[in-house]
Amino acid sequence: MSDPQPSPDAGVVALVPARGGSKRIPRKNVKPFRGVPLLTRVVGTLVESGIFDRVVVSTDDDEIAAIAEAAGADVPFRRPAELSDDHTGTRPVIQHAIRELTAAGQAVDELCVVYPAAVFVSGDDLAAGRERLRSSGAQFVMSAASYAAPVQRALAVGEDGWMHMLWPEFALTRSQDLVEAYHDAGQFYWGTVDAWLTGPSVLAARTVPHVLPHWRVQDIDTPEDWERAELIHRLAESED
């Protein structure tokens, strides 16, 4: 475990929640992604971005802690077991981390939560999100992407077995006249420390989006997701 190195004047912190348990892809956070542990890639991006005073990983797992430290992150505390099961939400984990850091003397003014599977996140995205947080008066800035097709045209299969529009009132509305809708990209979430500790949820707060292109938004929850993400990552790297 890293010895905390608090800096009272350094209050911009990245937090990566990375527990050891993963059911659908066992040991996902340490599994090699194109030959490099998944967590190593994300921590490397955060460290190399140069915008964080400290990159911290919250984990209950010794192997994850060692990989995080080798990649340049700090692991100044262990996440307790009651915050490491399948049913624990992210918010209590974030609040626990903030309290642990501040108790050790670390200033935390702005905190960016980045998931270990956010292999497509870039330093430019993170910097733009931070600037948006500071300039907009928002409590949070979240990564988001627009839906590829209008959500107002969504279909469902009814009990009768036939397809039905969820919102039939939009059946004749031109696509260009429909309100553009967005979804959570699941990569990063900037917030003020007060918002994380006492504010409403990200989706109920004063939240603004940092919109990402569709090709860089990829869940990695199944083996098929993993293979697709590696393929896209390889192609993107070859274009650089």
Q: Tell me, what CATH number does 222's domain have?
A: 3.90.550.10
- Rounded to two decimals, the pTM is 0.91
- The verdict on residue 160 lying in a domain is no
**Nearest partner of 18 among 29, 31, 4, 27, judged by Cα:** 29
Confidence at residue 23, expressed as pLDDT on a 0 to 100 scale: 78
- The verdict on residue 117 lying in a domain is yes
Confidence at residue 239, expressed as pLDDT on a 0 to 100 scale: 73
- The verdict on residue 4 lying in a domain is no
Question: In this structure, are residues 182 and 147 in contact, taking their beta carbons and an 8 Å threshold?
Answer: yes
> Which residue range forms the structural domain that includes residue 59?
12-144+182-239
Confidence at residue 6, expressed as pLDDT on a 0 to 100 scale: 42
CA distances from 152 to 34, 92, 180 (A): 38, 34, 9
Q: How many structural domains compose the chain?
A: 1
Question: In this structure, are residues 73 and 91 in contact, taking their beta carbons and an 8 Å threshold?
Answer: no
Confidence at residue 10, expressed as pLDDT on a 0 to 100 scale: 62
- The verdict on residue 6 lying in a domain is no
- The verdict on residue 33 lying in a domain is yes
pLDDT tens, position by position, for the chain (240 residues)? 444 444 444 699 999 999 987 878 999 999 999 999 999 999 999 999 999 999 999 999 999 999 999 999 999 999 999 999 888 899 999 999 999 999 999 999 999 999 999 999 999 999 999 999 999 999 999 999 999 999 999 999 999 999 999 999 999 999 999 999 999 999 999 999 999 999 999 999 999 999 999 999 999 999 999 999 999 999 998 876
- The verdict on residue 165 lying in a domain is no
- The verdict on residue 158 lying in a domain is no
Q: What is the dihedral of CA 193, 202, 82, 40, to 10 degrees?
A: -80
- The verdict on residue 151 lying in a domain is no
Residues 6+ apart with CB under 8 A from 148: 214
